[in-house]
Structure 1
Amino acid sequence: MNIRAEPDQTAQVQREAQAWLRRLASGEATQRDVEGFRRWQEASELHARAFAEARRLWKALDPAIGQMMAAQPALLAEHRQAVQQTARRPVLARRAFLGAAVSAAGVAGVAAAVYPPFALWPSVSEWNADIRTATGEQRAVVLVDGVDLMLNTQTSVQRQTLDGRTVGIDLIAGETAVDISSAQQPFRVVAGAGRSEARAGRFEVRFLEGSACVTCIEGSVRVTHAMGARTLQAGQQVVYDAASIGGATGVQGADVSAWRTGVLVFRQTPLAHVVAEINRYRPGRVVLLARGLADRAVSGRFAIASLDTVLVQIQRSYDLSARSLPGGVLVLS
């Protein structure tokens, strides 16, 4: 039976939702704050609806945020400068930018902490990560004997434990490679709606914008999803999202793993996808305004350490004009 909330109660919950968002956007939110927010959100259907409404509002205001960024590039410059000056204190860098965004965009700036425009700072879910890599950073991690992880750029993970033992990770966002030399039990990676498990071998999981891609490099890996399960052998890959899982397809494992050696490999990849991938590794933002070239196929091996050189090559190959803006923003048109 559905019970309608009184108007006063609804208004109070909406105010609470806004208060939580302001706290999370302040740059001073702690692990306890995030846990408290989750408990509040899960307390009732009314609370969940209030959060959903905040999300809807943010999506509706997203174009306005983009216009604000374009009209006030100084905000981007302030953020990037703060990040450089406080590389060891990311909370302060977030606070500096969020303060400017909130004052400029009101509630939209607050909601931006949950759904950040241009991916300029981590989302709320990423704040709760045990380990997070910055733009362009790659990190080797050992969470359990016999299992080595390599986290790629802009990756957030949280440990999964059972009886005090680490048994896997939640891949909140980003990309990770898993090398298992010897494990007493299967090591698992949960990404979105799916779970990947293996006892030995090598596999990689990429989870971006709600879509996951699992690639088996060596050995075999079991991928479990509500819509079915797949067992991948070396050189096979599967893609899934919240609603479906595809079939296993053959891939070049060396191409998929090239990022581990500092290289990006593209084979007949649309230019828009190439730019999006570059944005994961390069500070700032590359904006492709030449929509007519978005589907133009690109092939090549590009060094991650020289992405600005790659952008110059792209600019010349497609006769694009480039305009540099503060904060590392490059507009190609």
Structure 2
Amino acid sequence: MTDYRNAPAPSSDRITREAREWVVHLSSGRASAADGEAFRRWCARSPEHARAFVHCRQVWQGMEQAATSESIEAGAHPLPRRRSSRFTRRAFLGGAVAASAAGWLALRSPLDLWTRMGMQSADLWTGTGEQREVVLPNAATVQLNTRTSIDVNRQAEQITGLVLNSGETEITTADGNRLPFTVAAQNGLIEARRARFNVRFTDDRVRVTCLDGQVAVRHRHQSVQLQPAQQVVYNTARLSSVQHVDPDRVTAWRQRMLVFNGTPLAQVVDEVNRYRPGQIVLVNDQLGRVPVQAYLSLDKLEDFAALVKEVRGAEVRSLPGGILIIS
């Protein structure tokens, strides 16, 4: 198994790919003590690493349970004998997946805690589907969206800013701050004195939206000033131009709503996955490009399966553990 200790910071896609490798390796029965140490270091690199592993593991478990159910319904042994040279779907699920069930029983208990431990190492954090408000005295009021990790910066016992490790937050600065309130995210810095603004750090991109007042965004050798209803997006390499946006759509999560207007289904699935336990898996690229128009309540995400069934050609299968397979 590859040791990722000296690897550069990976993208979201690479993290997911590495998580799948760990899932397969740890359930293979060939993992060594050194692999266990390397895995713990990999999970500790960021909350996203641990979260990706838990998601991949949940999908794997859901497949195993589904395979067991199918084998029972068909009166078949979980490890069917070879009837032809062609691998069937049931043979793959019933054999390769069900064979690793014993490994999952050994791993399940500690691994369920590691994602929470990664989040809880931050000063402020939220779990899946959780939102909370934190008042930093004489500094700012901070709203945390789902799966958010934040550290607090202090200078001479005064709170001067935050570090957004991942997730999304809306910040309202307190009146009378002597110093600008700062938010560091990836390789950029946001500064504000009297303002309300939204910062989202997901998929290796940071999106900064000014909702009230003025906000300065510094990225490498560039700096821009944002007015209300203006937004910029940056990654490690570049800062976008200033765009005008609808603040109500940016802050819909504050009303516990998700708003999609012609959004490709693949992006809708990615967003919904941030708020619900389990995992939604889209297995058709063409279907993922279908535009979706929807308003979803975060308190009724169980309606998502019904929404997807309205998409042309979409079929949804529900598996244990909150797994939905869209095909």
- TM-score normalised by the chain length of structure 1: 0.69
CA shift, 1:319, in A, is 3.3
1:237-266: per-residue Cα shift (whole Å, max 9, x none)?
Answer: 000011111111010011100100111111
1:145 corresponds to which residue? 138
What is the RMSD computed on CA atoms of the aligned residues? 3.1
1:173-232: per-residue Cα shift (whole Å, max 9, x none)?
Answer: 000001124141321111111111111121000011321000011111000111401101
Contact 1:171–1:190 (8 Å) recurs in 2: yes
CA shift, 1:302, in A, is 1.2
CA shift, 1:106, in A, is 4.8
Choose the corresponding residue for 1:169, options 162, 171, 193.
162
CA shift, 1:320, in A, is 2.1
Output the amino acid matched with 2:158.
Answer: R
**Change beyond 3 A, Cα 1:61–1:190:** closer
2:109 corresponds to which residue? none
Aligned-partner SS, 1:51: coil
Q: How does 1:1-333 map to 2 (within 5 A)?
A: 51-53=5-7, 61-65=18-22, 67=24, 106=36, 109-113=39-43, 114=45, 115-116=49-50, 118=52, 120=54, 122=115, 126-145=119-138, 147-184=140-177, 185-333=179-327
**Change beyond 3 A, Cα 1:181–1:127:** closer
Output the amino acid matched with 1:310.
Answer: F
Aligned-partner SS, 1:274: helix
Distance 1:102 1:321 in 2: 40
Distance 1:174 1:262 in 2: 15
CA shift, 1:143, in A, is 1.3
Contact 1:187–1:199 (8 Å) recurs in 2: yes
Distance 2:159 2:275 in 1: 29
* Structure ranking higher in helix proportion: 1
**Change beyond 3 A, Cα 1:147–1:111:** closer
1:47-70: per-residue Cα shift (whole Å, max 9, x none)?
Answer: xxx82159899887544345579x
CA shift, 1:119, in A, is 5.6
Output the amino acid matched with 2:21.
Answer: A
1:118-140: per-residue Cα shift (whole Å, max 9, x none)?
Answer: 36363987453111101000000
Contact 1:285–1:329 (8 Å) recurs in 2: yes
Distance 2:264 2:315 in 1: 19
Out of 294-303 and 310-319, give the one that drifted further. Answer: 310-319
Out of 153-162 and 185-194, give the one that drifted further. Answer: 185-194
Contact 2:232–2:241 (8 Å) recurs in 1: yes
Contact 1:125–1:172 (8 Å) recurs in 2: no
- TM-score normalised by the chain length of structure 2: 0.70
Contact 1:206–1:213 (8 Å) recurs in 2: yes
| Higher-Rg member (1/2) | 2
**Change beyond 3 A, Cα 1:308–1:319:** farther
Output the amino acid matched with 2:173.
Answer: I
Aligned-partner SS, 2:214: strand
Distance 2:248 2:298 in 1: 16
Aligned-partner SS, 1:145: coil
**Change beyond 3 A, Cα 1:326–1:221:** same
Distance 2:289 2:32 in 1: 36
1:38 corresponds to which residue? none
CA shift, 1:277, in A, is 0.4
Distance 2:126 2:248 in 1: 23
Unaligned runs of 5+ in 1: 1-17, 19-49, 73-100
Contact 1:198–1:221 (8 Å) recurs in 2: yes
Output the amino acid matched with 1:51.
Answer: R
Output the amino acid matched with 2:245.
Answer: V
Output the amino acid matched with 2:50.
Answer: P
CA shift, 1:301, in A, is 1.6
**Change beyond 3 A, Cα 1:146–1:107:** closer
Output the amino acid matched with 1:286.
Answer: I
CA shift, 1:172, in A, is 0.5
Distance 2:7 2:195 in 1: 44
Aligned-partner SS, 2:175: coil
Contact 1:320–1:332 (8 Å) recurs in 2: yes
Distance 2:315 2:39 in 1: 31
